[in-house]
């Protein structure tokens, strides 16, 4: 007997948990299931360090937060979404405070805020430099209270921990459930639902060098794409300017917000050469080290071309200098940075320079949704990094993502609660039949790959990652993108013949890696194909063959959709502009 | 609720106070009477003086407190040592009776001996 | 430094064998490599059948707990060079049933966690536009206990948990204390029945290893010990004060 | 929240056995067991103390008999071992005290080292008083 829930949420990260709570609050009678390939508190939201943006002080306004977001996005975001976002972000962060989130405080007990890149005011709320960790655990623990026996009662949130979703079930043009594998047993189960919310996070792992966790393989994007839902603005991949070499571990932007400086190998604050302002002792908002991530990462590439970066075993680096901040401030505000530097780089930022380089960090694009998280496919919703609403446009501002997943997670939850109240119950037999087909497909996949003369999954994955770095990195052009697209097509053919060692059902992580890679190849192709079509440079998408922004043709969202024959089609949708007409992005002036 | 009426907090308080009192008092006493005097490191006090000290009500009170608390400290710890070290938790009822019963009997004996000294 | 190091890995494949075995692999010894990097090398290049959990590889998601040379460790922040010239022995965390290879079953903790109500219980929530005030000093009371990443290393180090699987255990009690000591919380009474039960704090004999192995310096042993004091003084108060006066 | 995990014909979990000698596996477990065993020597001390009091209150001869008994090499050895355990108890007990106690002076938390030092101070003072009373 297949399982049934009113709402199935794929993903137990920040977005998924927030959405689940929103459904439970909106209508306690609904049953909500969270299906997640890792225990919810292991989700990648846990790694977010720096903070979450929302208007806090009296000197700040919603309009200013909105403007910083819009200009940061290079005018590609939807301004109606941004306007709703900035207002609700504050509510959501306060909500989280009421649920117990240990936000860092001022002496008088009010919530403290810090500066962040691209923001004109101090409005980034933080819990030391483990913001995502505290946010995720607060949400998870709060979600625990929404159960039959918990304080808040209701039908409750049911969890499928360590279940991997392999397919969205679509019948009659409507999403009706999912198929998932239970990792511990290998059992394949059809879970029927009235609506599905995808909250599976980003896809940084399609690149070789990323701050993203092992689980960030873009599964949800691939699931939606294969089900026929369009992906939006996939060409916009954010590089974070300061990752540790070798591991790619993130050194949060908060390190620069607290006054950290970027130096080239000669000890020179090179950002001043790239129209990002003039160096000052105290950090200046929207200037120099507090410029936006796309511009800082691009400056690194130029600096490297000039031969002014330092060379290490793990490639070229510049240096982040925190020494002048002093031990006390570092321990109070950046303890995790110190911990990470000590553990993974064997240095102490109190006394030494931290080597850093740009690293793939965040996906601006994702499943195309409206302002309530609804996709064009009936019954399918998305929220969090996997979705593209869009408030991030061509470049996300640091600390906008955590509030985004709260705001739009909550919105999607509410919208779904309304949706399932209105939809008619539909026949489940065809859905179950589809589920059975998928189960058979999975069994076939597992046995088809059981031979020893193919390539290893890991080798194909590595090649895909290198292809993406070479073809669709910080700078791209027609030739590099075309080449990447060809290589990806070839990798797909090779993948079909790849071999697996592990035939067992119990906790078969190789099977999961195989399913993830299959999705990543699709997601990677969408990134490259969308990039190839956008013949301009905007935000994180920098074409050396088209170095300028072209508002006439490309002030529009790209939307890529799978055609029934397996090929794809890229189209453009208008950007919603309410109050801020496109202008020049000015930093440091 | 059953848990609120469980005797565990009380035996734990006895155990803890016992732990503290014995940590403060026993090392010096045992050193003097168990090691230093017998080995002649220090001259043992003569009987008259010691008898006067021992028969003082305050001394007796202190010693009585020490004995009772030390015995309950033993009882509690020994019970858990049998549970964990020897994995005997399945016999918890007889063990509990033996340990705390022993402490009670010991305390009575202590009272008799000390009263005799008054 | 030698070029390679031998990793001896504990294997259990329930579909093929009823008893665990050991497999040995030679992996490159690099100064940046954590034990986890060694396992990834094995998985990707030598033997795709090895199963283990990992995700963030930055010591914050809590997935990768294992027993490395007998000690409970996060494998992503334990370096191979510290064990040179080897061999390094990697086993699953102790005190848990094993699903397969290095993957343990932690459903027991997940079932116990809600019992201690690890969420903020409040009588009067402020309106939606204001925050509770909480000074840094008040925050300091519970901050440490809020750092738990649920990695389970403390459970794998606690002999009491090994002997008495009903014991609620170090991390769950620390998380309960995280809320009990939060100035915004009013749920301490609700949590008391479970915490002050025989399977709660009273089962702990203060071995203290939980705090020694904790990678996030949570000090669950301290949390438990503090709660014993709280529970005991509450019990005395209950005894002395008549019901109505409480 | 409940979990959707159901049981079916699943492969068996491996349950590692707990050996009777688990406490030999690692030095800190051994230390723990030794610490717990100190209670036996505390119980012995109570017996020894009561023998002393009994002897003292029974007169000079009985006291002398007690002194002779206490000088018996076997008894001395027993007491030396007991002393070692009792000191182990005291040291571990004081070491753990700061964990259970959180003291505040205004906004400042009294650092654990200060609490620890205070305990050792008290130990010293109490021992000195006892020694003074007995040896005077
Ligand atoms: C190192 C780092 C630091 C960051 N710092 C900040 C910051 O300071 N401020 C900020 O605003 N943002 C920051 N970000 C970005 C932000 O953390 C992420 O965008 C955000 O956490 C994504 O949350 P999510 O809920 O969308 O997805 P995730 O938290 O990634 O959760 C995804 C969930 O989906 C599940 N899942 C995925 N695929 C499947 C499948 N096939 N089947 C079942 N379940 C599946 C996973 O198990 C997981 O539970 C940072 C990101 C990184 C990498
Ligand atoms: S208390 Fe420490 S060891 Fe235990 S689960 Fe939490 S972080 Fe891990
Ligand atoms: S190791 Fe176990 S016995 Fe108590 S102090 Fe820690 S929980
Ligand atoms: S992989 Fe996340 S803690 Fe080690």
Are the C-beta atoms of residues C179 and C191 closer than 8 Å to each other? yes
Q: How many angstroms separate the CA of residue D21 from the nearest CA in chain A?
A: 32
pLDDT band at B89 (very low <50, low <70, confident <90, very high): confident
Domain residues for the domain of C56 are 4-104
CA-to-CA distance for A515 and A165, rounded, in angstroms? 10
Final residue of a structural domain among C73, C104, C135: C104
Buried b (16+ CB within 10 A) or exposed e, D20-51: eebbeeeeebeebbebbbbbebbbbbbebbbb
Could you give the CA distance from residue A8 to residue A11 in angstroms, rounded to a whole number? 9
Is the per-residue pLDDT at B93 higher than 80?
yes
Check C202 against B12: CB less than 8 A apart.
yes
Query: Which residue has the CA at smallest separation from atom 7 of ligand 3?
Result: C170
Residue with tokens 């446009």: A393
What average pLDDT does this structure show over A526-541? 97
Separation in Å, CA of A39 to nearest CA in chain D: 11
User: Which of these, C129, C73, C66, C131, lies nearest to C93 by C-alpha position?
Assistant: C66
Q: Which of B25, B45, B50 sits opposite D126 (nearest CB)?
A: B25
pTM of the model: 0.94
Look at residue A384 in the predicted model and tell me its pLDDT.
Answer: 98
Instruction: Please tell me which residue of chain D has the smallest CA distance to C105.
Output: D13
pLDDT, tens digit, for every residue of C189-227?
Answer: 999 999 999 899 999 999 999 999 999 999 999 999 999
- Domain contains D38: yes
Predicted confidence band at A155 (pLDDT cuts at 50, 70, 90)?
low
Confidence of residue C156 (pLDDT cuts 50, 70, 90): very high
- Please state, in angstroms and rounded to a whole number, the distance separating the CA atoms of residues A283 and A281: 6
Least CB–CB distance from D1: residue in A146, A187, A505:
A146
User: Distance between CA atoms of C162 and C53, rounded to whole angstroms?
Assistant: 22
Which residue, judged by its Cα, is nearest atom 2 of ligand 3? Answer: C158
Domain final position from C104, C136, C152: C104
3-state secondary structure of C213: helix
pLDDT along chain D (136 residues), means of 10: 48 86 86 94 97 94 94 96 97 86 74 90 96 90
In angstroms, what is the C-alpha Rg of chain C? 21
Residue C79 CA to ligand 3 centre (angstroms):
26
Residues from chain A contacting residue D11 (CB–CB below 8 Å): 185, 505-506
Comparing alpha-carbon positions, the chain D residue that sits nearest to B65 is: D46
Closest CA to C214 of C161, C141, C156, C134: C156
Q: Which residues of A touch C128 (CB under 8 A)?
A: 91, 94-95
Q: What's the pLDDT band for A401 if we cut at 50, 70, 90?
A: very high
Does residue D36 belong to any structural domain of this protein? yes
Buried b (16+ CB within 10 A) or exposed e, A9-31: bbbbbbbbbbbbbbbbebbeebb
Residue D3 has what pLDDT? 45
Domain-embedded: residue D16: no
CATH number of the domain encompassing residue D32: 1.20.1300.10
Check if A240 is active-site: yes
**Which chain B residues are Cβ-neighbours of C158 within 8 angstroms?**
none
Residue D93 lies in a domain: no
Q: Given CB atoms, is D19 within the 8 Å cutoff of chain C? A: no
Tell me the C-alpha distance between A301 and A270, whole Å: 12
Q: Where does the pLDDT of residue A451 fall: very low under 50, low under 70, confident under 90, or very high at 90 and above?
A: confident
Cβ within 8 Å of residue D7, ≥6 positions away: none
Please give the CATH architecture assigned to the domain spanning B9-115. Up-down Bundle (1.20)
Q: Residues B2-37: pLDDT tens digits?
A: 445 678 899 999 999 999 999 999 999 999 999 999
Q: Report the distance separating Cα A476 and Cα A542, nearest Å.
A: 6
A474 pLDDT more than 60: yes
Instruction: Kindly report the nearest CA distance between residue D96 and chain A, in angstroms.
Output: 26
Options A176, A240, A316, A338, the catalytic residue:
A240
Confidence band, pLDDT 50/70/90 cuts, at residue C1 = low
Please tell me the predicted confidence (pLDDT) of residue A407.
Answer: 98
C-alpha distances in angstroms, A194 versus A2, A421, C119?
A: 14, 9, 30
- Put simply, whether C141 touches A (Cβ < 8 Å) is no
Report residue A258: phi and psi, to 5°.
-80, -5
pLDDT-based confidence at A425, cuts 50/70/90? Answer: confident
Q: Which ligand is nearest to the CA of C222?
A: 3
Among C70, C104, C138, the domain boundary falls at C104
Q: Tell me: the pLDDT tens digits for A334-354?
A: 999 999 999 888 899 999 999
Whether residue C124 sits in one domain with residue C160:
yes
Please give the pLDDT value at position A51.
Answer: 95
pLDDT of residue A1: 62
pLDDT, position A541: 97
DSSP symbols for C146-174 = GG-----HHHHH-HHHHH-TTS--HHHHH
In a mutational test of the D interface, the residue from A9, A164, A185, A189 whose CB has the highest number of chain D CBs within 10 Å is A185
Segment A525-542 shows an average pLDDT of 97
Same domain, D31 and D80: yes
Distance in Å, CA C150 to ligand 2 centroid: 5
- Cite the DSSP H helix spans in A47-158: 62-72, 79-98, 131-144
Count the domains in chain C: 2
The pLDDT score that the predictor gives to residue D11 is 75
Task: State which ligand 4 atom lies nearest to the alpha carbon of A42.
Answer: 2
Whether residue C107 is predicted with pLDDT greater than 70 in this model: the reply is yes
Name the residue at shortest CA distance from atom 33 of ligand 1: A11
Average pLDDT for residues A172-197, to the nearest whole number? Answer: 96
pLDDT score of C241: 78
**Which pLDDT score, from 0 to 100, does residue C31 have?**
86
Distance CA A462, CA A524 (A): 13
CA distances from D15 to A81, A202, C93, C96, C103 (A): 53, 37, 12, 7, 12
- What three-state secondary structure class fits A195? strand
* Token output for C26: 């030679």
Looking at the domain assignment, is residue D66 inside a domain? yes
State how far residue C225 is from chain B, nearest Cα, in angstroms.
11
How high is the mean pLDDT of chain A?
Answer: 94
Look up the CATH number of the domain holding residue C21: 3.10.20.30
Q: Is the pLDDT of residue A234 over 50?
A: yes
Q: Among all ligands shown, which has an atom nearest to the Cα of C213? A: 2
Q: Out of A65-69, A80-84, A337-341, D11-15, pick the least confident.
A: D11-15
Work out the pLDDT band at A452, boundaries 50, 70, 90: confident
Nearest Cα residue to A312 out of A212, A211, A244: A244
pLDDT attached to residue C242: 63
The number of folded domains in chain D is 2
The 10s digit of each residue's pLDDT in A278-311 is 999 989 998 999 999 999 999 999 999 999 999 9
Report pLDDT for D7: 44
CB contacts of B89 in chain C (<8 Å) are 163-164
Nearest to C94 by CA among C60, C52, C65: C65
Neighbours of C143 (CB within 10 A): 17
Instruction: Give the domain extent around D116.
Output: 101-136
- Residue A311 has a pLDDT of 93
pLDDT at C149: 98
Helices (H), C105-152: 107-112, 136-143
- Taking each helix axis from N to C end, the angle separating C220-240 and D73-100, rounded to the nearest 10 degrees, works out to 90
Cα separation, A534 vs A542, in Å, equals 10
- Per-residue confidence (pLDDT) for residue A423, from 0 to 100: 87
Active site residue A256: yes
Question: Percentage of residues in chain A with pLDDT exceeding 70?
Answer: 98
Residue B53: name the closest of D83, B44, B22 by CA.
B44
> What does DSSP say about strands A387-388 and A366-368: parallel, antiparallel, or unpaired?
parallel
């Amino acid at each position: 007997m297949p399982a049934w829930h009113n709402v199935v949420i794929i993903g137990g990260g920040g977005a998924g948990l927030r959405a689940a709570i929103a459904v439970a609050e909106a209508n306690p009678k609904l049953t909500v299931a969270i299906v997640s390939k890792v225990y919810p508190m292991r989700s990648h939201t846990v790694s977010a360090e720096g903070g979450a943006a929302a208007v806090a002080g009296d000197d700040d306004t919603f309009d200013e937060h909105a403007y910083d977001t819009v200009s940061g996005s290079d005018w590609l975001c939807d301004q109606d979404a941004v306007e709703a976002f900035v207002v609700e972000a504050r509510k959501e962060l306060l909500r989280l405070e009421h649920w117990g989130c240990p936000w860092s405080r001022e002496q008088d007990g009010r919530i403290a805020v810090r500066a962040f890149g691209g923001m004109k005011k101090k409005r980034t709320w933080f819990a030391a430099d483990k913001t995502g960790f505290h946010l995720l655990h607060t949400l998870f623990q709060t979600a625990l209270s929404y159960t039959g026996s918990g304080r808040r009662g209701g039908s409750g949130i049911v969890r499928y921990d360590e279940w991997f979703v392999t397919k969205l079930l679509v019948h009659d043009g409507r999403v009706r459930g999912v198929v998932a594998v239970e990792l511990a047993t290998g059992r394949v189960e059809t879970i029927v639902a009235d609506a599905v919310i995808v909250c599976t996070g980003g896809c940084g792992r399609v690149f070789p060098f990323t701050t993203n966790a092992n689980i960030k393989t873009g599964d949800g994007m691939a699931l939606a794409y294969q089900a026929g839902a369009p992906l939006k603005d996939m060409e916009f991949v954010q590089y974070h300017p300061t990752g540790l070499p070798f591991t790619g571990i993130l050194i949060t932007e908060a390190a620069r917000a607290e006054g950290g400086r970027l130096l080239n190998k000669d000890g020179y604050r090179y950002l001043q050469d790239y129209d990002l302002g003039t160096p000052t002792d105290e950090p200046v908002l929207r200037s120099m080290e507090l410029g936006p991530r796309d511009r800082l990462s691009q400056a690194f590439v130029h600096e490297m071309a000039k031969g002014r970066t330092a060379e290490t075993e793990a490639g070229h680096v510049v240096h982040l200098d925190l020494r002048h901040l002093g031990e006390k401030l570092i321990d109070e505000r950046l303890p995790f940075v110190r911990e990470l530097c000590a553990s993974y780089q064997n240095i102490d930022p109190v006394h030494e320079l931290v080597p850093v380089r740009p690293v793939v960090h965040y996906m601006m694009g994702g499943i195309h949704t409206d302002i309530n998280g609804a996709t064009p496919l009936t019954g399918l919703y998305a929220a969090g990094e996997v979705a593209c609403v869009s408030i991030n446009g061509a470049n996300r501002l640091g600390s906008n993502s955590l509030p985004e997943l709260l705001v739009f997670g909550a919105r999607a939850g509410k919208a779904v609660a309304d949706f399932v109240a209105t939809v008619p119950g539909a026949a489940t037999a065809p859905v179950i039949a589809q589920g059975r087909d998928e189960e058979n497909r999975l069994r076939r996949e597992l046995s088809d790959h059981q031979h020893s003369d193919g390539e290893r999954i890991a080798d194909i994955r590595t090649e895909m990652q290198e292809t993406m770095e070479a073809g669709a990195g910080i700078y791209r052009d027609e030739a590099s993108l075309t080449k990447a697209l060809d290589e990806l097509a070839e990798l797909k053919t090779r993948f079909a013949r790849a071999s697996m060692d592990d035939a067992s059902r119990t906790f078969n992580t190789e099977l999961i890696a195989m399913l993830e890679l299959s999705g990543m190849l699709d997601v990677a192709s969408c990134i490259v194909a969308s990039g190839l079509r956008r013949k301009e440079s905007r935000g994180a998408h920098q074409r050396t063959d088209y170095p300028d922004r072209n508002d006439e043709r490309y002030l529009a969202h790209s939307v890529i959709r799978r055609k029934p024959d397996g090929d794809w089609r890229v189209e453009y949708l208008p950007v919603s502009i309410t109050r801020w007409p496109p202008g020049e992005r000015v930093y440091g002036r | 609720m059953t848990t609120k009426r469980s005797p565990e907090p009380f035996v734990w308080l006895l155990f803890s106070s016992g732990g503290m009192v014995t940590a403060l008092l026993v090392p010096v006493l045992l050193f003097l009477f168990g090691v230093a005097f017998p080995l002649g490191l220090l001259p043992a006090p003569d009987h008259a003086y010691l008898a006067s000290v021992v028969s003082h009500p305050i001394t007796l009170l202190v010693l009585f407190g020490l004995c009772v608390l030390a015995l309950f400290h033993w009882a509690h710890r020994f019970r858990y040592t049998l549970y964990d070290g020897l994995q005997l938790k399945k016999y918890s009822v007889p063990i509990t009776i033996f340990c705390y019963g022993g402490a009670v009997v010991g305390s009575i004996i202590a009272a008799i001996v000390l009263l005799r000294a008054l | 430094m030698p070029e390679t190091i031998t990793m001896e890995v504990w294997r259990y494949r329930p579909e093929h064998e009823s008893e665990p075995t050991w497999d040995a692999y030679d992996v490159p010894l690099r100064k940046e490599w954590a034990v986890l990097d060694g396992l990834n090398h094995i998985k990707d290049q030598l033997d795709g059948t090895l199963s283990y959990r990992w995700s963030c590889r930055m010591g914050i998601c809590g997935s990768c707990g294992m027993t490395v040379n007998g000690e409970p460790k996060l494998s992503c922040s334990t370096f191979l060079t510290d064990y040179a010239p080897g061999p390094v022995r990697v086993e699953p965390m102790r005190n848990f049933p094993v699903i397969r290879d290095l993957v343990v079953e932690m459903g027991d903790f997940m079932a116990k966690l809600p019992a201690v109500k690890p969420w903020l219980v409040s009588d009067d929530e402020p309106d939606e536009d204001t925050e509770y005030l909480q000074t840094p000093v008040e925050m300091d009371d519970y901050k440490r206990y809020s750092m738990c990443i649920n990695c389970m290393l403390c459970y794998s180090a606690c002999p009491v948990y090994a002997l008495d699987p009903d014991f609620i255990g170090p991390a769950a009690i620390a998380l309960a204390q995280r809320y009990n000591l939060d100035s915004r919380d009013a749920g301490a009474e609700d949590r008391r029945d479970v915490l002050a039960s025989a399977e709660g704090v009273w089962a702990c004999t203060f071995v203290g290893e939980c705090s020694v192995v904790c990678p996030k310096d949570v000090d669950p042993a301290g949390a438990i010990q503090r709660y014993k004091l709280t529970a005991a003084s509450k019990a005395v108060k209950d005894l002395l004060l008549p019901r109505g006066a409480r | 929240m409940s979990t959707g995990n159901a049981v079916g014909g699943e492969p068996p979990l491996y349950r590692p056995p707990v050996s009777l000698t688990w406490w030999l596996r690692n030095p800190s477990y051994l230390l723990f067991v030794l610490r717990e065993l100190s209670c036996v020597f505390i119980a012995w001390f109570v017996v020894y103390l009561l023998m002393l009091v009994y002897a003292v209150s029974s007169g000079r001869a009985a006291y002398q008999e007690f002194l002779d008994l206490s000088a018996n090499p076997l008894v001395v050895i027993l007491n030396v071992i007991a002393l070692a355990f009792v000191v182990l108890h005291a040291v571990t007990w004081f070491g753990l005290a700061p964990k259970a106690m959180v003291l505040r002076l205004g906004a400042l938390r009294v650092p654990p080292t200060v609490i620890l030092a205070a305990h050792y101070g008290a130990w010293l003072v109490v021992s000195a008083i006892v020694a003074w009373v007995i040896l005077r």
